[in-house]
């Protein structure tokens, strides 16, 4: 099961389980869409992997 981290690792924006703005890498590093698609250019700064839309989870 994915570890749905509650905030962006870069800017601390809230990313609740139902958020469609969360992006993750294969290691589950978590970023908001603004950071992922802007300054990070779709790459995880921790592992270099690509960032994808995180699946949502009903609360």
Beta strands in the chain (DSSP E): 22-24, 30-32, 52-53
- Domains in the chain, CATH or no CATH each: 1-59 (3.30.40)
pLDDT digits (tens, 9 = 90+) for 9-50: 999 999 999 999 999 999 999 999 999 999 999 999 999 999
**Residue 16 three-state SS:** coil
pLDDT tens string 1-15: 899 999 999 999 999
pLDDT score recorded for residue 50 = 98
Best CA proximity match to 40, nearest among 56, 54, 26, 52: 52
């Amino acid at each position: 099961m994915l570890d749905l981290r509650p905030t962006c690792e870069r800017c601390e924006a809230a990313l609740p389980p139902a958020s469609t703005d969360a992006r993750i890498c294969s290691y589950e590093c978590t970023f908001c869409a603004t950071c992922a698609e802007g300054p990070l250019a779709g790459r995880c700064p921790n592992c270099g992997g690509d960032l994808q839309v995180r699946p949502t989870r009903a609360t």
